Amino acid sequence: MIKFAPEGLPFIAGAAAVTVAVLAALRNWIAFIPFVITLFMFYFFRDPERATPVDAGAVISPADGRILLVTEVKEEEFIGKEVRKISIFMSPLNVHVNRAPYDGEVVSVKHTPGSFKKAFLDEASLHNDNIAMVLRTTKGDILLRQIAGSIARRAVCRVKPGDALKQGQRYGIIKFSSRVDIYLPLSAKVIVKPEDKVLSGETVIARWDEGAAK
């Protein structure tokens, strides 16, 4: 059975209602337009099950999409040290439900208002509207940043400080095209590269160095 993200139900219901109203009022081909939009809403807000690998040494992708960037940066605001950063771009055709990359406890969730530049641009990571969530793990803190794009105007983080997350567990969604940046401790060895395609909850994007601990 196909599942849908609950955040998408108002969009699906609204598009379906417009389709029915246009069909009832006009009874012609114009109803085809909202009907196609309704089908797209069903497609966009799909939330398929994923087979998360049982692997304590793996970091799993938090988002579907295309790897934009793999680099090292100093993350000042939440972690305060050098980290590995992976940026993932989600097109409107990707599943937009986000999942935890590793087991851990949520220690902070912060929404920062901002602009709505195209999500694949470098400056989107710094200036776009976003929600930052810090996940405390046995390997160190992981920062996950859900970034709104030029079409996406809202990210949703379903968790709060104190919540425990399991690897592969759903924790949020971004509506329409968008981006997720993940910041990992230097003990994580990144195994993806720009232009690679990844699946949330399934694709291994990094591996912990043997013996790495917080």
Q: Per the structure block, which two tokens stand in for 145?
A: 């940043």
What pLDDT does 211 receive?
57
pTM equals: 0.86
What pLDDT does 213 receive?
53
Q: Residues 63, 168: contact at Cβ < 8 Å?
A: no
What pLDDT does 120 receive?
61
Active site residue 187: no
> pLDDT tens across 116-158, in order?
566 566 666 677 889 999 999 999 999 999 998 666 567 899 9
Ranges under pLDDT 70 in the chain: 114-125, 149-153, 176-177, 211-214
Q: How far is CA 182 from the centre of its chain?
A: 10
Catalytic residue among 125, 178, 187, 200: 178
> pLDDT tens across 12-24, in order?
999 999 999 998 8
* Superfamily for domain range 58-208: Glucose Permease (Domain IIA) (2.70.70.10)
What pLDDT does 7 receive?
87
What pLDDT does 148 receive?
81
- What does each C-alpha distance from 55 to 103, 117, 163, 203, 208 come to in angstroms? 11, 36, 22, 12, 11
